[in-house]
Amino acid sequence: MRIVIPDDHQDCVRLLDCFGKLAGHDVRVFNDTVKGTDALAERFADAEAIVLTRERTRIDAALLDRLPRLRLISQTGKLAGHVDLDACTARGVLVTEGSGAGSATAEIAWALALASRRHLVSEANRLREGKWQGHLGQQLSGQRLGVWSYGRIGRQVAGYGRAFGMQVWVWGREASTAAARADGFEVAPSRDAFFAQSDVISLHVRLGAETTGIVTADDLARMKPAALLVNTSRAELIAPGALEHALARGRPGFAAVDVYEQEPVLGARHPLLALPNVLCTPHIGYVEKDNYERYFGIAFDNIVAFAQGRLTGVVNPAALSVAR
């Protein structure tokens, strides 16, 4: 099969152990990102299968109409609205997905919290510049950690908080808070209290139509001047422009962000990068070797199965009834 893998920013996919699963197939890997139907149609022109790295590439009906050879989209991880599933089904394009269970994103969330509270990046840079101590950090032990959504990643972050001696509480849907209670964690008495009384808030909400913009300007305005907001989930969870304005006003006083509305962010062209009270990283939460081996391994397995006439991980089996 002719397989295209776009958006491999670090040129690392070919170095993964699992890449060997595609031996015998014609594979093209692109390390840059292109936008727009014309550019993507040119890039995918000969593709029979496309491997998507999370939500880095958007597939819509207009693009699919330009890709008559495409038979399979193999998603790393779960779909999240970036693929028009109905359009794929109507055109006979199968879509597969898989899931992982690593701790990479939870670990980066915790690393961002630690680094922000102790000003690790700026202190390390000061030392390289020939300077000595410049900021008074703050320990996490004893502080109130708010975890919004107690799913797989939220559960891990809550566990880290407990291990570090933080007062952990959770906010989210009823099923989420019920699971947290069952694990012995406190549930915030209200959304207002969650934002007003937490010293650190870490977002782990799945992005969807109901959760887009779920964190509002009013929520942020309730946070303490010394509070820290950590977002390793999705930028769109926060109302457009709300975080930048809130940080400029001093509530919350700090943020640590790994996700952005439009990625990749190049040329430092994002308003958060101009603010001194934000620690920004380039969406590296899930970009980790073991995680990649797991996610890409499943995606490649789904392609191999398809090439052998088997189906695994298919989310739109109705596409099989459409001639392609």
CATH code for the domain of 39: 3.40.50.720
Co-location of 134 and 253 in the same domain: yes
> Out of 91, 234, 270, 294, which one is annotated catalytic?
234
* Average pLDDT value for the chain: 96
Co-location of 139 and 73 in the same domain: no
Contact 234, 260 (CB under 8 A): no
Q: Closest by alpha carbon to 292, among 155, 107, 100?
A: 100
| pLDDT above 70 as % of the chain | 99
The mean per-residue pLDDT over the stretch 149-164 comes to 97
Number of independent structural domains in the chain: 2
In sequence order, which ranges of 133-225 are alpha helices (DSSP H)? Answer: 152-163, 174-182, 191-197, 217-221
Q: How far apart are CA 155 and CA 46, in angstroms?
A: 42
Co-location of 216 and 251 in the same domain: yes
Co-location of 125 and 230 in the same domain: yes
- Compute the chain's Rg from CA coordinates: 21
Q: Assess whether 261 carries a catalytic annotation.
A: no
> Out of 54, 91, 222, 283, which one is annotated catalytic?
283
Categorize the per-residue pLDDT at 300 as very low, low, confident or very high, splitting at 50, 70 and 90: very high
Residue entry with tokens 């291990």? 163
Say if residue 15's pLDDT is above 80: yes
Categorize the per-residue pLDDT at 232 as very low, low, confident or very high, splitting at 50, 70 and 90: very high
Co-location of 124 and 243 in the same domain: yes
Q: Assess whether 263 carries a catalytic annotation.
A: yes
Please give the residue range of the domain that contains residue 155. 104-280
Say if residue 319's pLDDT is above 90: yes
Residue 124: exposed, middle, or buried by beta-carbon count in 10 A (0-12, 13-18, 19+)?
exposed
Neighbour-count burial for 94-116, b at 16+ CB within 10 Å, e otherwise: bbbbbebebbbbbbbbbbbbbbb
For 273-299, what is each residue's pLDDT tens digit? Answer: 999 999 999 999 989 999 999 999 999
> Out of 56, 66, 251, 263, which one is annotated catalytic?
263
Co-location of 296 and 248 in the same domain: no
Residue entry with tokens 């014309």? 38
